[in-house]
């Protein structure tokens, strides 16, 4: 694997306090209650951020409120992990208010996905903090069954490498360019990656393995986003592409999302692996981001170094 020079927070241990924050959209208390039950079962002590259930339209409270909750979690020495309740929209509006000096002084594991990609990009830019791309605390058993819980537990509470295998049931499974690539795993939700172009948080993907996943975006919009990444040069030096779940990404046209991904990624000259159960779909698995990774598209595996130490 490539050199591991990221900032890795301490592994979570039984008895550790984790704060549940809502940096993006508003959440449902009944789903968070299930997440609290799960985290408590692992021996952790989940506590709600003061405004975790706030609501202001499509946001979980105003920008200053959400940023204050994040900064309080990062500043509290008793809090050892920051678990986002959900994504939605809004993280990009508050990332410039996060106190990166505090993050660097006392690094904590941060878990979330979807809109949380914006927060993870900011933490990578501001602190080189490795984090965890996985389900939030607003837990839904139908979508994230026991295997999903076990995967999140392993990423948060062990220091073992994480391996995810491509599965034939995923719609993106046919998307593949054989080969083996090594590089830092960066990325997450495709909309948020594209929305980061031109901001300070857009990472340099040269030599990186890019992770992409998406939900409820038709194939032509996937095409548009990938084309923008290509045209701005973001994919010029990428080492490989790990393709996760593209959930409910269909419309009335004959062109499928797998067709688009194959056409837009297949000529990059690098390994591409689809079918990874990472994203918004049923059976979502957890992976570290910001850590060294090996993408073996021939064998159908993505292996990443842990986000914790």
Residue range 23-59, pLDDT digits in tens: 999 999 999 999 999 999 999 999 999 999 999 999 9
Residue range 32-42, pLDDT digits in tens: 999 999 999 99
Q: What is the DSSP letter of 7?
A: B
Residue 2 has pLDDT above 60, yes or no: no
Residue 136 has pLDDT above 60, yes or no: yes
213 counts as catalytic: yes
Return the pLDDT at 107: 98
Considering the chain, what is the average pLDDT of its residues?
97
Cα–Cα dist 72/19, whole Å: 9
Q: State CA 14 to chain mean position distance.
A: 24
160 counts as catalytic: no
24 counts as catalytic: no
Q: Using an 8 Å Cβ cutoff, are 46 and 35 in contact?
A: yes
The arithmetic mean of pLDDT across residues 180-201, rounded, is 98
Return the pLDDT at 113: 98
What SS3 class is residue 243? Answer: strand
Residue range 227-258, pLDDT digits in tens: 999 999 999 999 999 999 999 999 989 999 99
What are the structural domains of the chain? 17-157 (3.40.50.10740), 162-304 (3.50.30.60)
Residue 5 has pLDDT above 90, yes or no: no
Q: Which two tokens stand for residue 280?
A: 């918004």
Residue range 140-175, pLDDT digits in tens: 999 999 999 999 999 999 999 999 999 999 999 999
| The one catalytic residue among 170, 171, 213, 214 | 213
Residue 273: beta bridge partners? 176, 242
| The one catalytic residue among 133, 214, 217, 280 | 280
Q: What are phi and psi of 184, to 5 degrees?
A: -75, 135
Return the pLDDT at 1: 55
Q: Which two tokens stand for residue 11?
A: 């592994």
| The one catalytic residue among 24, 114, 151, 196 | 114
> Percent of the chain at pLDDT above 90?
98
Cα–Cα dist 308/241, whole Å: 23
Return the pLDDT at 4: 76
Q: Using an 8 Å Cβ cutoff, are 252 and 146 in contact?
A: no
> Percent of the chain at pLDDT above 70?
99
Q: Sorting pLDDT into bands at 50, 70 and 90, what band is 129? A: very high
């Amino acid at each position: 694997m490539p050199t591991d020079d990221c900032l890795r927070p301490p592994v979570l241990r039984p008895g550790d306090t984790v704060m549940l924050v809502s940096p993006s959209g508003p959440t449902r208390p009944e789903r968070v209650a299930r997440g609290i039950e799960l985290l408590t079962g692992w021996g952790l002590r989940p506590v709600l951020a003061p405004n975790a259930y706030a609501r202001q339209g499509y946001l979980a409270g105003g920008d200053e409120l959400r940023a204050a909750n994040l900064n309080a979690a990062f500043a509290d020495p008793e809090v050892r992990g920051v678990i986002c309740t959900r994504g939605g929209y809004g993280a990009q509006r508050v990332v410039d208010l996060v106190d990166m000096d505090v993050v660097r002084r006392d690094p904590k594991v941060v878990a979330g996905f979807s809109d949380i990609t914006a927060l993870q990009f900011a933490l990578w830019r501001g602190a080189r903090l490795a984090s965890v791309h996985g389900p939030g605390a607003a837990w839904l058993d139908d979508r994230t069954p026991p295997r999903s819980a076990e995967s999140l537990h392993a990423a948060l509470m062990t220091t073992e490498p994480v391996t995810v295998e491509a599965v034939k049931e995923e719609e993106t499974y046919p998307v593949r360019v054989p080969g083996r690539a090594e590089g830092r795993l960066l990325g997450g939700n495709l909309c948020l990656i594209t929305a980061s172009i031109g901001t300070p948080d857009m990472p340099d993907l040269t030599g990186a393995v890019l992770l992409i996943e998406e939900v409820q975006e038709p194939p032509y919009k996937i095409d548009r986003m990938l084309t923008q990444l290509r045209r701005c040069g973001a994919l010029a030096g990428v080492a490989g592409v790990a393709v996760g779940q593209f959930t409910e990404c269909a419309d009335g046209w004959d062109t499928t999302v797998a067709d688009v991904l194959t056409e837009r990624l297949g000529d990059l000259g690098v390994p591409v692996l689809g079918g990874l159960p990472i994203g918004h779909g049923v059976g979502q698995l957890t992976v570290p981001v910001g850590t060294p990774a090996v993408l073996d598209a021939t064998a159908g595996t993505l292996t990443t170094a842990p986000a914790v130490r």
